Structure 1
Amino acid sequence: MVTRSLQVQVYSLAFFTYFGFYVSREPYSLVKMTLLKTWAPFNGPDGWLLLGLLDTAGLATYAIGIFIVGYLCEKFNCKHVLIIGCFAAGITTIFYGMANYWNVHNYWYFLVFRMLNGFAEAFGYPTLIKMLDHYFCHEVARDFIMTAFGSCKFLGIIIGCVISSLSVSFSDKWGTCFILCGLVLIAIGVLDMFLLPSLPPNSAPLVDETTPILANKDQKDVSSTNEAENVKEPQDGTAPIIQTDGQTSETRQQENLGNKETLLEALRLPGIIEYAIHLFFVKLSVYVLYYWIPTWFESLTLQGVQISYVLSCWFTAVWGLGGCVGTLLIGLAVYLTELYGVFSTAFAALASVFILSLYWYSTLSTASLVIFLVILLCVGITQNGPYSLASACMPSAINRMQTGRNEKLVGMATGIIDGFGSVGAIFGPLSGAIILQWTTYGWGLVFLLVAVSMFVAASVLSRQVYLESKRCRAELEEVNSEEI
């Protein structure tokens, strides 16, 4: 039997684990200016492009890894897959930082470990989402639970920035922050090894006790099926796992056809294409700032003070704090109203305004540091709220509103929306690098790209806003008629 305390344990460890993955990612964006100034081959004329290609390579292997890890989750124990990912991501992060201690200046060294790290980072999201879906799929507040889970990303950014800023107090090497952040993720992997419950492969989401484990219109078919299958009871009290002794080629062909039909059915879900395009532009915008905003901070002078590496870390933490607040705000808003399109559009549109305001204000000679940080916080709130909502709960919400709950459609809808988002994430950092390397407009054009991307993300949901507004008016009229 799954108790509330077990749910709290799983959620806490899942939150803490994905937080650790983001801690280990943060140094890659924080040390860019240091590399551009002091470390070959990045301090040459092509430094911006070389760093952008590293980010793109890491994100590309991450996107490939997502599909592979999704398959591994269905074949092996999710807990074991997750722990391997924690160790692999932590170790590759450490080796990247060791280039500073070993005086490595070979670009291929950085490229190989950046790609290996991107692949290892992919072990976190699919495994943790499967665990959370297993334990929370029937919770009334599931949308808020899953969206709130996204705040761990930004908490990881904050702590990663703090660790990176403090590392300079006892070391003058840029590689130290990589080593420390990698060790944090490895330590979390050890913690999961002892405390995280196992989730066997092919485990079905938990169901109500009143729901039959095997539902079939013909009871005779169920009996004959049970004779050909072994039903094994897991040790952790979850729903039984059905394991078949064999599978004919005809059955496999039917399953392949079923997968194709599931994809087509998922694509026909109202709103899924719009939210997929929405997440593409949101993640493009978010990832440009995520990978380049610390470098931009170090190019600024505010109130006569040149922003240092340490201040850049703390400024980035403010942006991450905004992400935490925005994630919780939009999650609570849609939980209370179910107006997904309205709040996604409002946040994205406001983000485009705040992004342009942030850059414009930074160019003023009379710019106040306090006002600058307030605008930066607003950017984090409005930009990252739609990101967490679209990636964490929209596939399930779209499917639930249309079909009740179809497990295959949830997975397929997640793949469609996150797949589009991953493409946007890949193009984001590279776009920033190309602008900075080959144009004379520099940061101004980068921020214009980020703002326009958020505006387009808001625009593509205009039909959803109309439909949700229409639904609200109909519900309000119905309530008024009942009162009369």
Structure 2
Amino acid sequence: MQDELLDVVMEPKPPLGIRCLPPVTRDVTTKSRLYRGFILVFTFFIYASYHLSRKAISVVKNAWSCNQNSTDNSSNGANCTSWKPFDGDHSKVYLGSLDTSFLIAYAVAMFFSGHLGDRMKLRYFLMIGMLGSGLFTAALGFAHFLNIHVLAYFVVVQVLGGMFQSTGWPSVVAVMANWFGRGNRGLIMGIWNSHTSVGNILGSLIAGYFVHHYWEWSFIVPGLIIGSLGIMTALFLPADPDEVQALPPNHHEFSVENNPLMNARKVSTASFTSTGSQSSKAVGICKALQIPGVLEYSGSLFFAKLVAYTFLYWLPFYIHSTLKDSAGKPVSKTKAAYFSTFFDIGGIVGSIAVGYLSDILKVRGIACVLMTVLSIPALFFYELYGGDSEKMAIALSLICGFFVNGPYSLITTAVSADLGTHKSLEGSEKAKATVAAIIDGTGSIGAAVGPFLTGWIAGSDSETGWKNVFYMLIVASALSGLLLTRILVRDIRNLFKRCCKKRERCRYEVESVQLTELETIFVSKYRNIGVRF
């Protein structure tokens, strides 16, 4: 009796919003498929809102520290307006310090966020993070209304904003890993991870719309969006199939047949009833670091995010500073913001392509290294020809986005989910958020270093500063690939073994067919002369 009462008390309950809705279907297989589709879409918009809110500052940099040669017209009719303390000779360094303060806080808090995410209700953890992110994003806009010109205010707001932003990634990866098995995870998460680029695009469009005359709303509107979505997350996000009595995924099979999204009917009801026996014990950071591949992918992501976040925070500023219009004058702030979205469009295609490639190969390392190596010539040509014309800037932004965001996307999504459900963690199922936090937290340290170095290098020399920035990015891409050397060798060896086994199996099947045909001929021949078998 006590055991039955305990089961009732400990049974996971659906979110409040879902409890208020009528059930869609009673068939558990159909219900599981519908919920997986809902999770895919809902978490997509959840994390898109995180990037939407953090993108605004890269656009508003042009308003805070504008180019005196710009043709933009401000609200008072002058050629250029700026905002102290970002209007002096050290403007690039100050702006870089804002990016660095945000990303260092984000990286440090990430390790604690993953630890907390594996021990709290993920939907409430996300709600807290999204409300805090919205508040401190809007606080940057409040500086205009309050007439604040103190650098410390902006730094403190960025630090607090980074801490709350760190709740997003480990939580949404944990939710996705709870709902989706390993079998097309690369493709599914490649499509899903386009939320990063979609959020950047929406953030650029929203901030670009207001930046000319009302830059404060470039922060306030994204803050309202992510805060509102945070409330919806607490009401409607089932973080685990158990909460809505849906079928669980298979985490240890790498085939399409075992992917619950593609073939949910093949998952037996018995596996659903057996999930209650799984251990809910969470793992510590030390144990998570011992999972094979965590250290290599963490180091690689350090340099991959250094490159990606340099583009995220500085690309609109770079375009505005280097690209000329048909009259030979710098393009407007709004146009620079819109042009920067092509990098993210390329990133969407790259994320999907690298995820699909990793599923075909059934290994992640080869796909990561291939895309990383190809990003090096893309960066080199962007530096050479990116400022020649608007068409060339768009084309090279698409290409760079494709190759830069591809491996970064794969490591932070499918690789993190794979390692968070690694076979070495049997008996400790709650490791997904911790592993995602370790990998992305290490990468976020690189993301903090990149924008800071960019501000310092670009501001040190007006003639060669940006060229040196691209050299830095090329070296970082090369190091990102080199750190995956052991993973690459292992994956090539496994791929070769799998091909050999497949060839042997095909050869055996051919020989079996040939023997069967000979046997049939032999039997029919001797049967004709009266021999009995």
| TM-score, normalised via structure 1 length | 0.82
**1:77–1:199 Cα contact (<8 Å) kept:** no
CA distance, structure 1, for counterparts of residue 392 and residue 368 of structure 2: 25
2:337 aligned to 313, 319, 332, which one?
313
Letter in 2 for 1:57: S
User: What secondary structure is seen at the aligned counterpart in 1 of 2:378?
Assistant: helix
Shift of residue 3, structure 1, vs aligned partner: 1.6
Cα distance in 1 for residues equivalent to 2:93 and 2:316: 16
Pairing 1:88-127 to 2, within 5 Å after superposition: 88-127=132-171
Which of 350, 360, 364 is the aligned partner of 1:326?
350
Do the aligned residues in 2 keep the contact of 1:203 with 1:239 (CA within 8 Å)? no
CA distance in 2, matches of 1:260, 1:310: 44
Q: 1:69 aligns with which of 91, 98, 113?
A: 113
Q: Counterpart in 2 of 1:40? A: 84
Give the aligned partner of residue 437 of structure 1: 459
Change (3 A) 1:194 1:466: closer
Q: What residue in structure 2 maps to residue 422 of structure 1?
A: 444
Corresponding residue number in structure 1 for 2:527: none
**1:260 Cα offset (Å):** 7.5
Q: Which region of structure 1 is more displaced relative to structure 2, 81-90 or 17-26? A: 81-90
Equivalent residues of 1:341, 1:468 under 8 A apart: yes
Question: For the residues of structure 1 that align with 2:353 and 2:344, how far apart are their CA atoms?
Answer: 14
2:307 is the counterpart of 1:279: no
Q: How far, CA to CA, are the matches of 2:91 and 2:333 in structure 1?
A: 18
Give the Cα separation in 1 of the matches to 2:298 and 2:122: 27
**Cα distance in 1 for residues equivalent to 2:330 and 2:226:** 33
Could you list the per-position Cα deviations for residues 355-376 of structure 1 after superposition, in whole angstroms to 9, with x for gaps in the alignment?
111111135xxx3322321111
Distance in 2, matches of 1:242 and 1:273, equals: 25
Q: 1:81 to 1:293 in 2, by over 3 A?
A: same
Q: Relative to 1, partners in 2 of residues 1:18 and 1:412: Cα closer, same or farther, differing over 3 Å? A: closer
Does 1:291 pair with 2:313?
yes
Q: Using the alignment, how far apart are the partners of 1:275 and 1:139 within structure 2? A: 18
Would the alpha carbon gap of residues 311 and 412 (structure 1) be closer, same or farther in structure 2, given more than 3 Å must change? same
1:147 match: 190
Q: Distance in 2 between matches of 1:3 and 1:200?
A: 8
The one-letter code sitting in structure 1 at the alignment partner of 2:445 is V
The one-letter code matched in structure 1 to 2:41 is S
Alignment check: 8 A CA contact 1:326 1:382 kept: yes
Query: Does the Cα contact within 8 Å between 2:170 and 2:432 map onto a contact in 1?
Result: no
Hey, what's the Cα distance between the residues in 1 that align with 2:285 and 2:226? 38
Stretch deviating more after TM superposition (61-70 or 149-158): 61-70
Q: Residue 379 of structure 1 corresponds to which residue in structure 2?
A: 400
Whether contact under 8 Å (1:73, 1:201) holds in the other structure is no
C-alpha distance in structure 2 between counterparts of 1:410 and 1:183, whole Å: 29
After superposition, the Cα gap between the structure-2 partners of 1:388 and 1:261, relative to the gap in structure 1 and judged at 3 Å, is closer
The aligned amino acid for 1:210 is A
Q: Distance in 1 between matches of 2:371 and 2:83?
A: 39
> Could you say if the C-alpha distance between residues 149 and 239 of structure 1 is closer, same or farther in structure 2, counting changes exceeding 3 Å?
farther
Could you tell me which residue of structure 1 aligns to residue 479 of structure 2? 456
Q: Which amino acid counterpart does residue 53 of structure 2 have in structure 1?
A: S
Structure 1 residues 399, 134: closer, same or farther in 2, change over 3 A? closer
Question: Quick one: distance in 1 between partners of 2:50 and 2:112?
Answer: 18
Q: Give ranges in structure 1 of 5+ residues lacking alignment.
A: 215-237, 244-254
Please provide the CA RMSD for this pair.
3.1
Q: What amino acid sits opposite 2:470 in the alignment?
A: F
Amino acid at match of 1:429: P
**Structure 2 counterpart of 1:182:** 223
Task: State the secondary structure of the residue aligned to 1:306.
Answer: coil
| 1:262 corresponds to 2:287 | yes
The question of 1:162 aligning with 2:213 is answered no
Shift of 1:157: 0.5
Rate the CA distance shift 1:176–1:106 in 2: closer, same or farther, 3 A.
same
After superposition, the C-alpha distances for 1:362-400 in whole angstroms (9 at most, x for unaligned) are 35xxx3322321111000000000001111121343576
One-letter code of the match for 1:80? Y
The answer to whether the 8 A contact 2:302-2:445 is kept is: yes
* Aligned-partner residue type, residue 392 of structure 2: I
Does residue 53 of structure 2 align to residue 31 of structure 1? no
Separation in 2 of the partners of 1:100 and 1:471?
58
Q: Quick one: structure 1 residues 411 and 111, their matched pair in 2 at CA, closer, same or farther if it must change by over 3 Å?
A: closer
In 1, the alpha carbon distance for the partners of 2:420 and 2:112 equals 24
The residue aligned with 2:494 is 471
User: 2:270 — aligned with what?
Assistant: 210
Decide whether aligned partners of structure 1 residues 461 and 479 sit closer, same or farther in structure 2, where only a CA change above 3 A counts.
Answer: same
Q: Distance in 1 between matches of 2:166 and 2:196?
A: 14
> Residues 187 and 480 (structure 1 numbering): CA distance in 2 closer, same or farther, change over 3 Å?
same
Q: Give the structure 1 partner of residue 214 of structure 2.
A: 173
Deviations, residues 419-459 of structure 1 (Å, cap 9, x unaligned): 32122112111111221233453111111111211122123
CA gap 1:403/1:482 in 2 versus in 1, 3 angstroms: same
Greater CA drift, 391-400 or 351-360:
391-400
Amino acid at match of 2:108: I
Which 5+ residue runs of structure 2 have no aligned equivalent? 1-27, 67-81, 250-267, 508-533
Matches of 2:35 and 2:203 in 1, distance apart?
Answer: 28
Distance 1:24 1:460 in 2: 32
Q: Give the whole-Å Cα distance in 2 for the aligned partners of 1:274 and 1:242.
A: 28
Compare 455-464 and 180-189 and name the one that shifted more. Answer: 455-464
Residue 301 (structure 1) shift: 3.2
Q: Deviations over 1:294-339 (max 9, x none)?
A: 1101112334342111111111111111111111111111112124
* CA-to-aligned-CA distance 1:261-282 (integer Å, 9 cap, x gap): 724632xx1x433322211110
How far apart, CA to CA, are the structure 1 residues paired with 2:356 and 2:461? 42
CA distance in 2, matches of 1:356, 1:260: 38
What is the CA–CA distance in structure 2 between the aligned matches of 1:81 and 1:158, rounded to whole Å? 26
| Corresponding residue of 1:447 | 470
Indicate conservation of the 8 Å contact 1:354/1:375, yes or no: yes
Q: Kindly provide the amino acid, as one letter, of the partner of residue 62 in structure 2.
A: M
CA contact (8 A) 2:187 2:359 kept: yes
TM-score, normalised by the number of residues in structure 2: 0.75
Give the corresponding residue for 1:388.
Answer: 409
CA distance in 1, matches of 2:170, 2:416: 14
Distance 1:388 1:35 in 2: 31
In 2, Cα distance between equivalents of 1:273 and 1:198: 27
Aligned partner of residue 321 in structure 2, secondary structure: coil
Alignment of 1:351-390 (within 5 A): 351-362=375-386, 367-390=388-411
C-alpha distance in structure 2 between counterparts of 1:443 and 1:376, whole Å = 16
Cα displacement (A) at 1:120: 1.6
Indicate yes or no: 2:369 matched with 1:345.
yes
2:379–2:470 Cα contact (<8 Å) kept: yes
